[in-house]
Amino acid sequence: MLSFQSLKTELQQVNHETTASLERVISLSGMTNETFQTWQEICETVHRQVSEDVIRVAVVGAIKSGKSTFVNSLFKEDYLKRGAGVVTSIVTRIRSGPYLKATLYFKAWDEINADMQQALALFPASRWQASDDRFDMRRETDRQELETALGALNSELLISDGSRNVNSIILDLYLKGYDTVGPIMTSEQTTKVFEDDAFDGQREFVGSDELAVYLKDIELEINNGSLGTNVEIADCQGSDSPNPLHLAMIQEYLVRAHLLIYVVSSRTGLRQADIRFLSMIKQMGILENTLFIVNCDFSEHESVDDLSVLVDRIRNELAMLRPEPDVYAISSLLNLFRAKQGKNSEKDAQRLAQWTQEEALVAYSDQESECFYAHFQDKLARERSSLLLANNLERLGVISSGLMNWARLNHDVVNGDAQGVEKILEKIDFHRKQMGKVASLIKSTLDGSVQKVKKDIKTNIDRFFDARYGRTMKQVVEAIRTYQMPLERYEDGLVASGFTDILFLVYQDFKESLDKQLAEKVNPMIIKFVREEEGRIAEYLESIAGPYETMVHEAVADYLESMEQMGISLDSELTSGSPKNGLTAMHHGSELVLPPLGATMRYSARIKTEAVVKLGVYSLETMVRKLLKKDVNDNIKQKIKALEDGIKRMKRETERSVLMHLKDYKENVKFQYMYKLTDAMSEYLYKGLLESFDAYFTDISNLVALIREEHIDKAAALEELVHIERNALRVLGNIDGLREKIQQFVEPVEMT
């Protein structure tokens, strides 16, 4: 039976045989010319891509929907902590490995201090002020004084809409976790590894908010072959997490993911938070590649009919966002408990025994699980096969054809008379020069096209991020200007706390609201825009390269005809060096990534704290002078009026800061991503077009010279050339067979 893994193994074998033939050619000719060096690099790239290519699967859903339980069920063990903290949780990546291993990547001190600076924007100077105006977590005095200052703030005002302010929590957690994490941190990025029997040690960090806040990334390796190698499952934060930075982190992973699995709890059904998150995914343009899991809690359902009604309702609701959604209703906990037979706790064993008596529900879940796993494995394999396998196979086909032609041409030349050899070499040299002219024309045309593309990119990016006319920036500005401060909430605090204390708390509420707007509205718009630009770049460059592909084929045909007239027959069935979806494959395989989306929320460092605070202090001092003879109620009104003035200034400063910050982000998108991507795509196309040239116009003069100078035995050389040609023909036959298997494998299959 065909499988993705078996096809990868066959491709690697073809690559190994191609590399071996190439090494024999280099050994015989005694040189590594530019063509041979290029072919060696291609073989190395193929090996690396096939070995290291990772299929990324993001598991997303609302808090408490059962995401971690579902992921654990995939790996048949409780590797992930279920019900981890929602304030500091991060994306946890899981892959197969030779043994149990957890690698924890900690933030660098600069990142931690940057987090603190963001959360401390407009912190009242009367409460605390760093000696150099910058908080440093490593300074004991900074930590102690900030802890005292936080304790002095009005705790009631830190609660908004029934939950504590996110920024105040982050400050508190960093301070609490320092004693444990601080000693293991270094000036460089720190990693901590838990292996084999110590694997569960990672739970201490993942399950504790005050330690998890220091983590940047977690990668688990599990010695379980359930999903095969090179598959990465990411357990993402809850889509309704109160921290907007979590949403930005999820978005960053979703941009790179090949497949999404969205988990909905059968206890709650599809909630407003789910609809909002799925609408965002749709806006990003990646909802089509999503499978949906209704995570069933048997204790919530009386019968299969009852459960089916819920699943049908969820399917109908999802259909409003995506027609004919792939929905599977399974009990992740049942599957996990059964996989852990003999290792469950007494309580879990009792639950499993009770559930197994619900035969109809168990049968329903089992059938749905089987359908899901079949569809899941199918998508994992097929989504990548046509790009990873087919494109690399075609490139190896070009190399093998080139090796066969090189061996055949050398054999005919070496075996011919001296006069005939000179004519052949002259003819080859003539065509090589002609090909050089074509290559130069292609290069100059693509370079010119790249400049045009970059000019268009600049125009489009500048327009998109334009503060006055760009829809994205207008939305940000509108969110800032129309935000309504619930001033009545702060009336009591104005009496009990200092004016700047209240201004800090107001800003924290305002920033949390704005960050949410950036994460839910602005970031998806950026992602959609970037994806559209990527498509336009690829489409334009491919349209430019298309005519030159015809020119290459015509030049090669002229050369083949010349060789045929001289009695030399070469392979004329070379695969095109510009495979279908080539730029898509190149883009996916490149290391270029969009600048972190969380950076869009790093604007607070630009806020001119002194200007805002001074305004508030000045207003308060002026007010106090006027209120010496006025009653308390009038005093409160004047304080609120002063607070309103401070808020207006704060909003103006925030608007200026956000726009300046997004301007920096715009330049990063332009120069660090889009321009580099354009250059990489152009270079990929250029090399692809020239691969056909290389397959025919490899240099044979060196081998001829070696034989003439008797450095190589002519008879032995002829024998080796025959061997190389036969090997290349055999590899080409294997390539044809593997090509048919891949085509058969990637044909769509109807899943029931």
Residue (of 231, 289, 224, 212) closest to 73 by Cα position:
224
Q: What is the pLDDT of residues 470-503, one digit of tens each?
A: 888 888 999 999 998 777 777 777 766 667 778 8
Q: Which residue has the higher pLDDT, 29 or 85?
A: 29
31: pLDDT confidence band, cut at 50, 70 and 90?
Answer: low
pLDDT at 419: 65
Evaluate whether 175 touches 146 at the Cβ level (below 8 Å): yes
Residue with tokens 């309504």: 484
Q: What is d(CA 151, CA 243) in angstroms, rounded to the nearest whole number?
A: 22
Among the ranges given (53-57, 241-245, 326-330, 596-600), the one the predictor scored with the smallest mean pLDDT = 241-245
Q: What is the dihedral of CA 157, 163, 167, 170, to 10 degrees?
A: 120
CA separation for the pair 622, 644 (Å, rounded): 15
Residue 145: closest CA among 135, 155, 157, 160 = 135
Low-confidence winner among 130-139, 286-295, 309-318, 741-750 (lowest mean pLDDT):
741-750
For residue 752, what pLDDT is reported?
36
Picking from 78-87, 485-494, 643-652, which range would have the lowest pLDDT averaged per residue? 78-87
pLDDT band at 576 (very low <50, low <70, confident <90, very high): very low
Give me the amino acid identity at 58.
Answer: A
Strands 55-61 and 259-265: parallel
Q: What span, in angstroms and rounded, lies between the C-alpha atoms of 94 and 151?
A: 39
Q: What is the pTM of this model?
A: 0.85
Tokens 């041409």 belong to 409
Check the CA dihedral 325-331-337-338 and report its sign: negative
Please enumerate in sequence order all residues whose Cβ is within 8 A of that of 121, keeping only pairs 6 or more positions apart, or say none.
Answer: 507, 511, 604, 605, 607, 609
pLDDT reported for residue 385: 62
Closest by Cα among 533, 532, 536, 526 to 465? 526
Residue 286, helix vs strand vs coil: coil
Count of alpha carbons within 13 angstroms of residue 621, beta-carbon side: 6
Tokens of 587: 């883009």
Contact 39, 399 (CB under 8 A): yes
Asked whether residue 636 carries a pLDDT value surpassing 80, the answer given is no
> Does residue 623 have a pLDDT over 60?
no
Sheet strand arrangement including 326-330? 191-195, 101-106, 215-222, 92-96, 231-235, 55-61, 259-265, 290-295, 326-330
Helix axes of 4-29 and 701-708: crossing angle, nearest 10 degrees: 40
Mean pLDDT, all residues of the chain:
84
* Of residues 695, 706, 578, 711, the one with CA closest to residue 22: 695
* pLDDT computed for residue 260 by the predictor: 95
User: Could you give all domains of the chain from N- to C-terminal order, each with its CATH number?
Assistant: 1-52+358-415+713-752 (1.20.120), 108-218 (no CATH), 423-490+505-603+672-712 (no CATH)
Q: What is the DSSP letter of 622?
A: H
Q: Kindly tell me if the per-residue pLDDT of 618 is higher than 60.
A: no
pLDDT tens for each residue of 691-707: 777 777 766 666 777 77
What tokens were used for 106? 């900690």
